[in-house]
């Protein structure tokens, strides 16, 4: 286990900060040095705010000295670049918002600032969170720290790569169809999508409003629970925010899963799942059995096969509506060389959006258009209800469902850019949790040719405590989460 400060977990750093044998300024400097050292190769950031971060670290040290420190005080973190940060560019890795500086903070940013966490900068992503490889970023592609010729996953590829490479102790991403869990799997870190509505979306740049959820990326499950503690809770500014009480998620990390009912849905082990991935996941389920869980290897979710096609109706439809606001008038990129208002609008969108964003806008606009709405969007909504009901029925029999996170390990940069359908299939295991609005987590469970493999666990809505308990018990019985890439 490396002793370098940049490879500390959040809970290890917190103990050292509170013991006062390490200051937040020292820790932040170590992370900034690490960014300077490896960022030219990894490219996990869009923006680094060095002076602001050091200023926040000084404030955090004052808080710690005064005995007024919380679990995240003085901890250097990164935010995905679609989470609003007052006074700091929030670009969504798009030319459309390349120079946009929000006048306000997202709810999660407010909560981290209130706890005096240190924000190092903004993580690279697929443009407007549309992609599975971070190759759709208008700024630059991010490279996987385990193999710089491979993708880190997406759309939260910058956050996952930053945590894996030691460029942040933790990060926040957004997950619309797997965009936290899939890159966590490909980069060998822990990534979690909370229950829809548990974390406020206020200040998250909208992609698909009925699917988007902010979630943590971290080195281990304990850190994931600490970050979730810091960002979860009701927010009246988000109409979908749940008014349910938020427990201390770290208290659920008991290590005891005796009697836990685990279902392994066979529909997730389909053609396209690499043999090494399937083998690693099945070995991981064996570990859960050894820890006292009861496993049903013949669990079935037959409607799973429809999750991917209905996602690619619902998500583009909502993105088509949400991205209509980028018209070159109110904010963002505006085409100046135009003949009149309609020409300006068309050219703004032509030059401001990248090809994948345009593709999804067109798909969504078609699905919502007159004569097709009933056939596509309305029908997709009905199938979504059936998938949600199927999960609810399954969770009467099982406490958690276990699947691969991604059907493959990290693929080479450029391998799927010419085949959008192959790229979309990267999220086949993660999308159902977003469709149903349930929590899901990815934890490292193996390696294939030097590349990490992720194990996904899903639980019923607001079942985060059970989910984290199961993930933590598995993690502590194995050593995969302790591995670090050699950069």
CA distance 105 to 79: 12
CA distance 235 to 208: 19
How many C-beta atoms surround the C-beta of residue 160 within 10 A?
36
303 and 310 Cβ atoms separated by less than 8 Å: no
Let me know if residue 285 belongs to a domain.
no
What does 405-420 look like in DSSP terms, one character per residue?
Answer: SSSSSPPBTTSSTT-H
79 φ, ψ to 5°?
Answer: -125, 140
Q: Which of 23, 155, 241, 406 is catalytic?
A: 155
Total structural domains within the chain: 1
Q: What is the three-class DSSP state of 443?
A: strand
Lookup: tokens for 235:
């927010």
Q: What is the three-class DSSP state of 123?
A: strand
179 an active-site residue?
A: yes
CA distance 180 to 441: 9
Residue 1 is predicted with a pLDDT of 35
Q: Which of 179, 185, 200, 241 is catalytic?
A: 179
What does 135-184 look like in DSSP terms, one character per residue?
Answer: -S-SS----BTTBTTB---SSSHHHHHHHHHTS-SEEEEE-SSSTTHHHH
CA distances in angstroms from 75 to 119, 158, 190, 216, 422, listed in the order given: 8, 18, 17, 14, 38
Let me know if residue 132 belongs to a domain.
yes
DSSP 219: S
The bridge status of strand 76-80 relative to strand 440-448 is: unpaired
Q: What sign for the dihedral angle of Cα 239, 245, 251, 256?
A: negative
Pick from 200, 187, 117: which is nearest to 444 by CA?
187
Lookup: tokens for 361:
């806008």
CA distance 434 to 461: 11
CA distance 212 to 196: 8
CA distance 322 to 241: 19
Let me know if residue 415 belongs to a domain.
no
Q: What's the pTM value of the predicted model, to 2 decimals?
A: 0.97
Let me know if residue 323 belongs to a domain.
no
Cα 60 off chain centre by: 26
Residue 207: give its domain's CATH number: 3.90.1300.10
SS3 content of the chain, % helix, strand, coil (to 5): 45, 15, 40
> To which residue do tokens 């996941």 refer?
281
Give the containing element (helix H, strand E) for 457: strand 451-458
Residue 274 is predicted with a pLDDT of 96
Let me know if residue 345 belongs to a domain.
no
List the end-to-end C-alpha distance of the chain, in Å, as a whole number. Answer: 15
Pick from 253, 191, 147, 174: which is nearest to 481 by CA?
191
Give the 3-state DSSP-derived string for 313-340, with helices as H, strands as E and coil as C. HHHHHHHHHHHHHCCCCCCCCCCCCCCC
Pick from 121, 231, 120, 225: which is nearest to 174 by CA?
231
CA distance 184 to 418: 24
The bridge status of strand 170-174 relative to strand 76-80 is: parallel
155 an active-site residue?
A: yes
Let me know if residue 292 belongs to a domain.
no
Question: Which range of residues forms the domain containing residue 227?
Answer: 5-257+460-482
CA angle 115, 462, 206 (to 5 degrees): 65
476 φ, ψ to 5°?
Answer: -70, -20
CA distance 34 to 288: 36
CA distance 97 to 92: 7
Contacts of 391 (CB under 8 A, 6+ apart): 301, 432, 436, 438, 458, 460
Q: What is the three-class DSSP state of 311?
A: helix
> To which residue do tokens 């030691």 refer?
166
CA atoms within 13 Å, Cβ hemisphere of 73: 22
Let me know if residue 435 belongs to a domain.
no
Q: Which of 23, 80, 193, 442 is catalytic?
A: 80
CA distance 465 to 120: 29
Let me know if residue 67 belongs to a domain.
yes
Contacts of 30 (CB under 8 A, 6+ apart): 4, 5, 6
Digits of tens for pLDDT over the chain (487 positions)? Answer: 345 899 999 999 999 999 999 999 999 999 999 999 999 999 999 999 999 999 999 999 999 999 999 999 999 999 999 999 999 999 999 999 999 999 999 999 999 999 999 999 999 999 999 999 999 999 999 999 999 999 999 999 999 999 999 999 999 999 999 999 999 999 999 999 999 999 999 999 999 999 999 999 999 999 999 999 999 999 999 999 999 999 999 999 999 999 999 999 999 998 889 999 999 999 999 999 999 999 999 999 999 999 999 999 999 999 999 999 999 888 899 988 888 888 988 999 999 999 999 999 999 999 999 889 999 999 999 999 999 999 999 999 999 999 999 999 999 999 999 888 888 888 999 999 999 999 999 999 999 999 999 999 999 999 999 999 999 999 999 999 999 999 8
Phi-psi region of 306 (alpha: psi -120 to 50; beta: other; left: phi over 0): alpha
Lookup: tokens for 454:
């992720």
């Amino acid at each position: 286990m490396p002793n370098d400060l940049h490879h500390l977990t959040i809970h290890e750093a917190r103990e050292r900060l509170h013991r006062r044998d390490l200051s937040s300024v020292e820790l932040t400097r170590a992370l900034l040095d690490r960014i300077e050292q490896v960022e030219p190769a990894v490219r996990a950031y869009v923006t680094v705010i060095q002076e602001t971060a050091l200023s926040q670290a000084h404030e955090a040290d004052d808080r710690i000295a005064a005995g007024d420190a919380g679990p995240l005080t003085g901890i250097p973190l990164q935010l995905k670049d679609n989470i609003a940060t007052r006074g700091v560019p929030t670009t969504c890795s798009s030319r459309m918002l390349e120079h946009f500086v929000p006048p306000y903070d997202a709810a999660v940013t407010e909560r981290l600032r209130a706890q005096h966490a240190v924000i190092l900068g903004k993580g690279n992503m697929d443009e407007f969170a549309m992609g599975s490889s971070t190759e759709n970023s208008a700024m630059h592609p991010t490279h996987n720290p385990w193999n710089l010729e491979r993708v880190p996953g997406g759309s939260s590829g910058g956050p996952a790569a930053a945590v894996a490479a030691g460029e942040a102790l933790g990060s926040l991403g957004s997950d619309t169809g797997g965009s936290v869990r899939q890159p966590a799997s490909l980069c060998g870190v822990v990534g979690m999508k909370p229950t829809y509505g548990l974390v406020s979306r206020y200040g998250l740049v909208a992609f698909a409003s009925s699917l988007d959820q902010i979630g943590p990326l971290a080195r281990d499950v304990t850190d994931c629970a600490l970050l979730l503690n810091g960002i979860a809770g009701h927010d009246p500014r988000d109409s979908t925010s749940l008014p349910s009480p938020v427990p201390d998620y770290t208290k659920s990390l008991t290590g005891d899963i005796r009697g836990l009912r685990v279902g392994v849905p066979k529909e997730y082990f389909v053609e396209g799942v690499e043999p090494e991935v399937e083998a690693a996941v099945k070995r991981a389920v064996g570990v859960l059995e050894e820890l006292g869980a009861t496993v049903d290897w013949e669990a079935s979710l037959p409607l799973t096969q429809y999750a991917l096609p209905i996602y690619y109706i619902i998500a583009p439809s909502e993105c088509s509506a949400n991205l209509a606001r980028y018209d070159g008038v109110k904010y963002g990129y505006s085409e100046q060389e135009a003949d009149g208002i309609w020409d300006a609008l068309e050219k703004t969108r032509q030059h401001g959006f990248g090809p994948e964003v345009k593709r999804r806008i067109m798909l969504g606009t078609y699905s919502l258009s007159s004569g097709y709405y009933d056939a596509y969007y309305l029908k997709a909504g009905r199938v979504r209800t059936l998938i949600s009901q199927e999960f609810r029925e399954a969770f009467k029999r099982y406490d958690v469902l276990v699947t691969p996170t991604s059907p493959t390990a990290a693929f080479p940069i450029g391998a799927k850019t010419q085949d959008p359908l192959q790229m979309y299939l990267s999220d086949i295991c993660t999308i159902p949790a977003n469709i149903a609005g349930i929590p899901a987590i990815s934890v490292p469970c193996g390696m294939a040719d030097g590349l990490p493999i992720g194990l996904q666990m899903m639980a019923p809505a607001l079942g985060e405590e059970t989910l984290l308990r199961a993930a933590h018990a598995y993690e502590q019985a194995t050593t995969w989460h302790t591995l670090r890439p050699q950069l």
